Amino acid sequence: MKKSLKDFSQKKRMYGRMFILPWVIGFIIFFLIPVVQSLIFVFSKVSIGDTNFDTEFVGLANIRYIFFESAKYVDNLYDALISFSYSIPLVVALSLIVGVLLNQKFRGRIVFRSIFFLPVIIATGVVMTYIQGDATAEAMRSGSAEMSTNGIDVTAILQGMHLSKEITNFLVDFVNRIFDLFWDCGVQIVLFISGLQSIPEQLYEVCRVEGANKWEEFWYVTFPMLSGTTILVIVFTAIEVFTDASNTVMRQAYTAMQQQIYDQSAAMLWVYFALVGAILGLVILFLQKAVFSKWAT
Amino acid sequence: MKERKLRLKVAKKKSYKRFTRSTAANIIFVSLLLLAGLFMVLPLIYSIVTSFKPLDELLAFPPKFFVTRPTMHNYTVLPSLLDNLQVPFSRYAFNSLFISVAITVGHILIAGMAAFTLSNCKHKFISTVFWGVQVALLFNGYTLGIPQYIIFSKLGIIDTYWVYILPALQSTTGVFLMKQYMDVSVPKALMEAALLDGAGYYRIFWNLVMPLVKPAWLTLALFAFRDAWAIQPSGTIFSESLKTLPVAMNQIAASGIARSGSVMAATVLLMIPPIAVYLVSQSNVMETMSSAGMKD
């Protein structure tokens, strides 16, 4: 009896290993080994041959270089972090609003949901490159162009209002990126809708019995119940924005890579990832401890 | 299952009542949605409209959004443009289709099997692996480009189909989605019952788990196909006969501004397959995403 049980659990373990093996092998070969190698690049001087490369350990020289000698890295890092500080909250807020709207019951909501999910499907690769590459489409995407707003030049208006240059730049940048921000929302909207649908109906019933209005209902029921989803959405948005090829740090690192300066490029990316990971971790910790736990009781 | 459906039905009826509003609120609500929806579809509509523009309208300044004299010229000229490509167009199309299908099917299988183990084993090692999966979600291709290239050349798969397919198979997003979905939607009691009835693990995986998590793998199919359809080789493929549709499109685009209408036409045609896959898997996407948000 005992023996057969042992056989059984051994068999189970063997099957478990067999099922996960193909993925683990792929993961190690195409992900883990490259990751470790690029980490080695950070601390060494790399010279690439045809099929091989030589690394020579140089300690922190690459990191010192990107921070103190490279012309633009610190500026790029700063720019990237600033643009994250507003684009992530904006994307999260936009998708929350649209998610709440789409969660209402109305005719044709399936069509609307599909429309909002559309960018997720088509906004990749070549298709996007050509939509963005077309001059007219580009002008249309950036709302400040003459044709789409009938000659209203946003920059001129803002300058006329005697706002400071920083604020003007920020607003112009924001208007220019409205399309991009909207197009970044697809998956987040779906996440919010599914989060909304998992809120128990009874809570709303209680609200109505107690005489709460819609506004109170949102802040005391919907928003707190969505805290888990919100954190997931923040993480998802952050990953999407941080790894987007168009942000300044990624572009600089990619250019360096094309010039075959692999060690510095690796250093740039690793410093960036470490920084971003640390900030993201702190933000989530703060949200969990300070904001959302308030409602938990 | 039946009971759950019934309950859902009742809940639906109830909530219909909840959302009766005043007319003013309805108008605000609808116009808000329409405005936001417009933002989403405008670039798409624009590229479709542009693909029907004759040359003089394409180059008109200031550019107009709508076409005044629509023409099919951009589409009818495509075949002759494609004749100028270095290898027959059908070859590019076949490559893209073959690679996309291979990646989609292979990825679902590999991710499903890995998720099956991750979801059922309560071993410490397993949770470590899953933690690795989540960290891996943070990384993207740029960091790994060069080391990966060296691995490709060591494996001897440069300039073959494998170089497209193999690295795409073990994408971590899929394992994450499938595992989360399996945790929620495959009852442990059902698996135990199947084991007692003498089903092997292969049978349980094929006949029990995979059908139950169909929404998850349909969603995965959508994402995998979308990414695979856009694959462009970067320095890993040299023979023209192994390149993909995006490369062919770049060649059309390279023939200058006079061809920009045809490029738009080709873009519109290229959008169709991912949209078709989406229409098939549409209703399942929402369900899968909801389980990704739940904590285990």
- Whether pLDDT at A14 is above 90: no
Provide, as residue numbers in chain B, all residues whose Cβ is less than 8 Å from the Cβ of A16. 117, 120-121
- Whether pLDDT at A89 is above 80: yes
- Whether pLDDT at B282 is above 80: no
Measured distance CA(A250)–CA(B252) in Å, rounded? 28
Residue A249 belongs to a domain: yes
- Find the farthest-apart pair of alpha carbons in chain A and give their distance in angstroms, rounded: 88
In this prediction, residues B214-238 reach a mean pLDDT of 81
Q: What's the pLDDT score for residue A166?
A: 67
Measured distance CA(B58)–CA(B53) in Å, rounded? 6
A85-94, A198-207, B51-60, B252-261: range with lowest mean pLDDT: B252-261
Residues A156 and A32 in one domain: no
Q: Which helix (H) or strand (E) holds A54?
A: strand A53-57
Residue A206 belongs to a domain: yes
Provide, as residue numbers in chain B, all residues whose Cβ is less than 8 Å from the Cβ of A118. 40-41, 44
Residues A134 and A239 in one domain: yes
**Could you tell me the CA-to-CA distances from B271 to A127, A128, A154, B89 in Å, in that order?**
7, 10, 33, 17
Q: Tell me, what DSSP letter sits at residue B251?
A: H
Q: What is the distance of C-alpha B64 from the center of its chain?
A: 32
Of B63, B290, B295, the CB nearest to A147: B63
Residues A31 and A171 in one domain: no
**In this complex, do A122 and B120 lie within 8 Å of one another by their Cβ atoms?**
no
Provide, as residue numbers in chain B, all residues whose Cβ is less than 8 Å from the Cβ of A183. 40, 43
**In this complex, do A26 and B170 lie within 8 Å of one another by their Cβ atoms?**
yes
Residue B193 or A12, more confident: B193
Reading the block at residue B19, the tokens are 């959302």
A31-40, B6-15, B18-27, B103-112: range with lowest mean pLDDT: B6-15
In this prediction, residues B175-185 reach a mean pLDDT of 80
The per-residue pLDDT for range A221-260, each reduced to its tens digit, is 888 888 878 887 888 788 777 777 667 777 777 777 777 7
Of B37, B64, B144, the CB nearest to A35: B144
Q: What are the beta bridge partners of residue A45?
A: A56
**In this complex, do B129 and A24 lie within 8 Å of one another by their Cβ atoms?**
yes
Contact of B268 with B135, CB cutoff 8 Å: no
**In this complex, do A112 and B33 lie within 8 Å of one another by their Cβ atoms?**
yes
Q: What's the pLDDT score for residue A295?
A: 56
B149-158, B184-193, B285-294: range with lowest mean pLDDT: B285-294
- Whether pLDDT at A12 is above 80: no
Measured distance CA(A214)–CA(A98) in Å, rounded? 16
- Whether pLDDT at B93 is above 80: yes
CB atoms within 10 A of CB B195: 15
Q: List Cβ neighbours of B170 (8 Å cut-off, separation of 6 or more).
A: A23, A26, A27, A30, A31, B110
Measured distance CA(B87)–CA(B255) in Å, rounded? 16
Task: State the CATH number of the domain containing residue A261.
Answer: 1.10.3720.10
Domain with CATH 1.10.3720.10 in chain B: 74-292
In this prediction, residues B204-225 reach a mean pLDDT of 84
- Whether pLDDT at B14 is above 60: no
Does B251 reach chain A within 8 Å, measured CB to CB? no
Q: What's the pLDDT score for residue A7?
A: 66
Tell me which residue of A164, A24, A184 sits closest to A116, measured CA to CA.
Answer: A184
Give me the domain span that covers residue A15: 2-42
B84-88, B116-120, B268-272: range with lowest mean pLDDT: B84-88
Residue A148 belongs to a domain: yes
- Whether pLDDT at B18 is above 60: no
Residues A136 and A223 in one domain: yes
Contact of B266 with A131, CB cutoff 8 Å: no
Pairing relationship of beta strands A53-57 and A44-48 according to DSSP bridges? antiparallel
Q: What's the pLDDT score for residue A126?
A: 57
- Whether pLDDT at A88 is above 70: yes
Q: Positive or negative, the Cα torsion across A282, A288, A292, A295?
A: negative
In this prediction, residues B135-148 reach a mean pLDDT of 68
The share of chain B scoring above pLDDT 70, in percent, equals 80
Of B33, B169, B230, the CB nearest to A126: B230
- Whether pLDDT at A272 is above 80: yes
Residues A105 and A251 in one domain: yes
Residue A161 belongs to a domain: yes
Whether this prediction's pTM lies above 0.90 is answered by: no
Domain count, chain A: 2
In this prediction, residues A213-220 reach a mean pLDDT of 82
Burial of residue B53 (number of CB atoms within 10 Å: 0-12, 13-18, 19+)? buried
% helix / strand / coil in chain A, to the nearest 5? 80, 5, 15
Residues A35 and A100 in one domain: no
**In this complex, do B146 and A228 lie within 8 Å of one another by their Cβ atoms?**
no
Q: What's the pLDDT score for residue B102?
A: 93
Q: What is the mean pLDDT of chain B?
A: 76
Q: What's the pLDDT score for residue B99?
A: 92
Q: Which amino acid is at B149?
A: Y
Asked: is B74-292 a CATH 1.10.3720.10 domain? The reply is yes
**In this complex, do B267 and A273 lie within 8 Å of one another by their Cβ atoms?**
no
**In this complex, do B246 and A141 lie within 8 Å of one another by their Cβ atoms?**
no
Residues A112 and A216 in one domain: yes
Contact of B157 with B233, CB cutoff 8 Å: no
The share of chain A scoring above pLDDT 90, in percent, equals 0
Tell me which residue of B33, B202, B44, B57 sits closest to B117, measured CA to CA.
Answer: B202
Measured distance CA(A131)–CA(B161) in Å, rounded? 28
The C-alpha R_g of chain A, in whole angstroms, comes to 25
Q: What's the pLDDT score for residue A259?
A: 75
Q: What's the pLDDT score for residue B105?
A: 93
- Whether pLDDT at B57 is above 90: no
Measured distance CA(B194)–CA(A114) in Å, rounded? 38
Read out DSSP for A189-244?
HHHHHHHHHTS-HHHHHHHHHHT--HHHHIIIIIHHHTHHHHHHHHHHHHHHHHT-
Q: What is the distance of C-alpha B181 from the center of its chain?
A: 18
The per-residue pLDDT for range A192-216, each reduced to its tens digit, is 887 888 788 888 888 888 888 888 8
**Could you tell me the CA-to-CA distances from A83 to A102, A158, A242 in Å, in that order?**
28, 20, 10
By residue count, chain A amounts to: 297
**In this complex, do A53 and B150 lie within 8 Å of one another by their Cβ atoms?**
yes
Q: What's the pLDDT score for residue B106?
A: 92
Q: Identify from B65, B117, B188, B275 which residue to disrupt to test chain A contact, counting A C-beta atoms within 10 A and taking the largest count.
A: B117
Residues A90 and A231 in one domain: yes
In this prediction, residues B257-274 reach a mean pLDDT of 78
Does B185 reach chain A within 8 Å, measured CB to CB? no
Minimum CA–CA partner of A17 in chain B: B117
Residues A188 and A254 in one domain: yes
Residues A13 and A109 in one domain: no
Residues A10 and A79 in one domain: no
Measured distance CA(B36)–CA(B228) in Å, rounded? 29
Q: Which amino acid is at B286?
A: M
Q: What's the pLDDT score for residue A51?
A: 58
**In this complex, do A30 and B65 lie within 8 Å of one another by their Cβ atoms?**
no
Provide, as residue numbers in chain A, all residues whose Cβ is less than 8 Å from the Cβ of B201. 12, 15, 19
Residue A65 belongs to a domain: no
Distance (Å) from the C-alpha of residue B50 to the closest C-alpha of chain A? 9
Measured distance CA(B261)–CA(B50) in Å, rounded? 7
Measured distance CA(A29)–CA(A157) in Å, rounded? 55
Residues A128 and A247 in one domain: yes
